[in-house]
Amino acid sequence: MTLGLIATLGLLWTAQEPPPAEPATGTSSAAADLLPPLDPLGLEDPSLLRADLSTSSTTSYDLGGATISGRRRKRALPASQFVVDAQDFAGVPRRDASSQLMLAPGVLTTNAGGEGHAHETFLRGFQAGTGQDIEFLVDGVPLNEVSNAHNHGYADIFFIPPEVVQQVSVTNGVFEPEQGDFAFAGTAEYRLGVPERGSRVSFLQGSFSTSRLVGIVAPHDLPDQTFAAFELYRTNGFGTNRSAQRGLALGRFGQDDGTDALRWSLSLYGYGARWDQAGVVRQDDFERGDIGFFDTYDPNQGGESKRLLTAFDAAVGPTDAELSANVFLQLRDMRIRENFTGFLQDPRGDGAEQRYDAITMGSRGKYELATTAFGQTQELALGWALRYDRGKTQQFRLRDTTAIPYDVVFDRGIDVVNVAGWARTQLRPVDWLAIRGGLRLDTFSFAVVDFDQPTADTEGPRVDNQSTQAFGFALSPRVTLELRPFANASLLFSYGQGTRSSDATALSDNETAPFAVAREVEVGATYRLGSRADGAELQLQAAYVFAAIDQDLVFEPAAGRNILVGPSTRNALLFAARGHLGGWLDALLNVGWTDATLDDTGERLPYIPELVGRADLIAHGALFDWQLGGQPVTGEVGVGFTFVPGRPLPNQLQGDAFYLLDASAEVRLWNFAVGIVGRNLLDLRYRQSEFNYTSNFRGPNLPAPRTPQRHFVAGEPLFLGGTLTVFLEDLFADL
């Protein structure tokens, strides 16, 4: 069917020349040019105007005195793609960029591994762990790490400060040909930019000796996507063995003259972190008083992380014949120490050290065409993705107390090449109907060297390493049907097939590399009432998603990573309501319900929340008629609330529910802003992660318990902090 659509559209091109593009006035960023429109409702988005230009209808945008005219495309995007301008809710307290993913329904992020360890992300029934089931992107650059010792697909986003995240896009499901490896449950993309221009420095001092310094440089005469930022952070943590330190710097510079000529941007990221990890606490030990709620069994747990990343983006041509691409290069180093089982497996200690050292390079791009037929815009896009990873992945067992390695679990060198091509077309025979579909072909070539081989076997001496090679490919069809029964409303039906590549270290020589396959179906609706121009707007999105997985993964504490558990099925309902009132109030309500079960037993998949509810509310504006230094005094209040009922655990147990209330308030006085931040204002003692398995933390010389017990990782108690922001450019201009 999809090939037929592409062929039909190709005939349309030969029959009709595309009309000339009407250039938009004003400035747009090259980074925005390279990305597809995000708005599932087909609403005008001035920040991504160039990406939305086409031969559809002409619309004028009033941007505070500057009027921009352009044409927007009507894209039949999946109903379960949720896009939020993160800056609209910047005043709601968030510890890091990962928590911004909870602006989409059905998403829960936790962190049992310390401030530096990648977050565990739960997405509409998938325990995506630290990344194996979600494709993570930052401005089109993939972040998932292949064959990472800690987890295949590991994605650490601590190098992104939330202040520079302009938009968050979460796609539940695999319905777009652009979605690549690890987009099993979906895709999460961060788009960076600083719409509030000017240079400023912000400082936070809070509970647990926490301090954070952030600086941003965003010149007024340059677009949102040109900026530089840095962050310095340190904390003693809210309990034993939870201290953390990190430093980062990033910047982007681009050039775009607003024409069809070459537009480009260059991005640089640097990051380093060191953190401690408390690990798990046994519930029975806590109830007996043998260990405190925020204590640790093993003080050697923690980690280190380093990253150097650069990316170059470019686009050329009009919006109806545009070629865009990026290239990226990353150097990555990571070490994590954890202990989930104490002395269960070895009297010397079950501590594990996992190391990952790799270089990644690649490119992603596309060529997009648009023309008019039947009075409607028809589209065709061809794209590619190239990626090469080379590095070492290792895991060792550690002695108790000294943390000296005593055994090699694995020690392997990896070379992985991923080459992908895709085609996508959208046909709109009439205004109220669109058919959007495509195919994606992924190929993987694996080469692995095992450095932990014996120096002799039954036939005599041998070298201590051995090579393994494998190759595999996967073809993934995806299609979306959109109906527009009346203005500002859409009904959408989508089908997609996604694949997850194999961990290179699990392959045998000359094997046809297997892929886990997810087949997903979605039915959804979107609706908009009112508009921001009229002072009030309400956007509603709802979707039902069904997913069948042939090879699923579940976290296994004894291994310290995910293991295969067989086929599974998921049903999910997602709902989002986004409201805007009078330029002073923004509200967001998200609800996600999931039923995830193993096909072989019918049991619920452990650790996955069945319900996630989240509400964000922010109000801002002038405070009465007060002025200071000739400038009005303004204020902002943000509130966030999260509710998660008890999550299923192994052996048919149920975890504890938790509900978290966060709030902040800030007042701007002349060129300074002072504020307060509070997280977990109810001071709930909650378990952010819970498990059920067998362990032995009694000691190496005592008998190990034989029955599984509940274990937990404590969540952060009440946090209070004060903030001070200095707007440097404005201050100097007023002196």
Measured distance CA(511)–CA(446) in Å, rounded: 10
| Per-residue pLDDT at 439 | 97
**Mean pLDDT along residues 650-663:** 92
| Per-residue pLDDT at 258 | 79
| Per-residue pLDDT at 551 | 83
Provide the pLDDT confidence category of residue 387 given band limits of 50, 70 and 90: very high
pLDDT (tens digit per residue) in 551-608:
887 777 766 667 778 899 999 999 999 999 988 999 999 999 999 998 888 888 888 8
Q: How much of the chain, in percent, has pLDDT values that exceed 90?
A: 71
Checking if the pLDDT of 633 tops 50, the result is yes
Checking if the pLDDT of 730 tops 90, the result is no
Question: For the chain, how long is the longest CA-to-CA vector?
Answer: 90
Measured distance CA(494)–CA(475) in Å, rounded: 17
Checking if the pLDDT of 426 tops 60, the result is yes
* Token digits of residue 442: 């992924």
Report the phi/psi class of residue 559: left, alpha or beta, with left for phi > 0 and alpha for psi in -120 to 50: alpha
Q: Which of 562, 420, 495, 498 is nearest to 182 (CA)?
A: 498
DSSP H/E element including 78? none
* Token digits of residue 224: 């949102």
**Mean pLDDT along residues 614-621:** 96
pLDDT (tens digit per residue) in 25-44:
333 333 333 333 333 333 33
- Which residues, at least 6 apart from 458, have a Cβ–Cβ distance to it below 8 Å? none
* Token digits of residue 283: 């519930």
Please give the torsion angle defined by the CA atoms of residues 344, 346, 350 and 353, in that order, rounded to the nearest 10 degrees: -150
Provide the pLDDT confidence category of residue 505 given band limits of 50, 70 and 90: confident
pLDDT (tens digit per residue) in 523-543:
999 999 998 888 899 999 999
| Per-residue pLDDT at 561 | 66
3-state secondary structure of 677: strand
Count of H-run helices and E-run strands, the chain: 5, 40
> What is the total residue count of the chain?
735
Say if CB 722 and CB 206 are below 8 A apart.
yes
Checking if the pLDDT of 695 tops 50, the result is yes
Residue type, 439: L
> Any idea what DSSP says for residue 705?
P
Residue type, 13: W
**Mean pLDDT along residues 173-189:** 92
Mean pLDDT, the chain, whole residue set: 87
| Per-residue pLDDT at 195 | 92
Measured distance CA(162)–CA(382) in Å, rounded: 32
pLDDT (tens digit per residue) in 293-348:
999 999 999 999 999 999 999 999 998 999 999 999 999 999 999 999 999 999 99
CB atoms within 10 A of CB 14: 7
| Per-residue pLDDT at 76 | 56
Output the DSSP codes for 30-46. Answer: HHHHTS----TT----G
| Per-residue pLDDT at 50 | 29
Provide the pLDDT confidence category of residue 172 given band limits of 50, 70 and 90: confident
Provide the pLDDT confidence category of residue 404 given band limits of 50, 70 and 90: very high
